[in-house]
Amino acid sequence: MHNISQRKRTLLKVIVLGDSGVGKTSLINQYVDKKFSQQYKATIGADFVTKEIQVDDKLVTLQIWDTAGQERFHSLGAAFYRGADCCVLVYDINIQKTFDTLNNWHDEFLKQADTNDPEAFPFVLIGNKVDVDGGNSRRVTEKKARNWCASRGNIPYYETSAKEGYNVEEAFFCVAKIAQENEHVQDIFFGGISESVSEAEQQQQPSRCAC
């Protein structure tokens, strides 16, 4: 009965946090534009990019917020955090310190975002730059990272290379999926037809991330 263009569309706000230099901007560029740049440049003007994807039978718009380098000073404004549906934490598997600061980013997010249910809020952890030196310069084992995720309420974990495009799509698909489960339905309609309650209920997934 409903085709996808008649559905209520969902806008999901995703914010990406982590130390400067871990590859946040590169991951977003790789995911959205399939591009990678070796050149280091701090993101100009904190803003977002959008990408439409289909999750199950639903079209969702991911609104992915990147920082403009303010992460160096831990001074991201309230607007950055407000209304987030998922928080992606990124570290560099080759630099221990970027893993150690995950606790700060996690806590900072929960403090700033003022979510209804902090325990249930969806995070995804990304360990980036797995390509570097063929993995020989790795400082954080996958096991350590997975233990951290377990201790923080079973956060899904992905190891990626923004440079090679490895696992990036998969990581963001998981982001979309768990963000959708925590969605803030925006009032964007195509054709003004809203979903029935039973259909909305069907969208609820029991598990946090099946991907």
Could you list the residues that contact Mg ion (CB under 5 A)? Answer: 24-25, 43
CA distances from 113 to 9, 87, 95 (A): 23, 10, 27
- Determine, following the binding rule CB under 6 A, whether residue 171 of this chain makes contact with ligand GDP: no
For residue 42, the minimal CB distance to ligand GDP (Å) is: 7
| Choice from 58, 106, 163, 177 touching ligand GDP (CB under 6 A) | 163
N-terminal to C-terminal alpha carbon distance within the chain: 28
Residue 136 interacts, among Mg ion, ligand GDP, none and using kind-specific CB cut-offs from 5 to 8 Å, with: none
| Of the residues 8, 13, 25, 138, which one makes contact with ligand GDP according to CB under 6 A | 25
Under 8 Å between Cβ of 16 and 65: yes
User: Is 129 near ligand GDP (CB under 6 A)?
Assistant: yes
Which of 132, 185, 193, 209 binds ligand GDP (CB under 6 A)? It is 132
Number of residues that bind ligand GDP (CB under 6 A): 18
- Dihedral-angle region of residue 108 (phi above 0 means left; psi in -120 to 50 means alpha; beta otherwise): alpha
Query: Least CB distance from residue 76 to ligand GDP, whole Å?
Result: 13
Give yes or no for residue 8 binding ligand GDP (CB under 6 A). no
The DSSP 8-state label assigned to residue 161 in this structure reads B
| 161 lies in the site for ligand GDP, by CB under 6 A | yes
Q: Are 182 and 10 in contact (CB under 8 A)?
A: no
Q: How many CA atoms are closer than 13 Å to the CA of 184, on its beta-carbon side?
A: 14
Residue 110 binds to ligand GDP (criterion: CB under 6 A):
no
Determine the length of the chain. Answer: 211
> CB–CB of 33/159 below 8 Å?
no
Closest CB to ligand GDP belongs to which residue?
Answer: 23
Interface with ligand GDP, residue 94, by CB under 6 A: no
Distance between CA atoms of 92 and 18, rounded to whole angstroms?
A: 9
* Residue 128 near ligand GDP by CB under 6 A: yes
Q: Which is nearer to ligand GDP, 37 or 141 (CB)?
A: 37
The string over 76-94, giving b where at least 16 C-beta atoms fall within 10 Å of a residue's C-beta and e elsewhere, is beeebbeebbbbbbbbbbb
Interface residue with ligand GDP among 108, 131, 183, 199 (CB under 6 A) is 131
Sites of contact with ligand GDP (CB under 6 A): 20-26, 37-38, 40, 43, 128-129, 131-132, 161-163
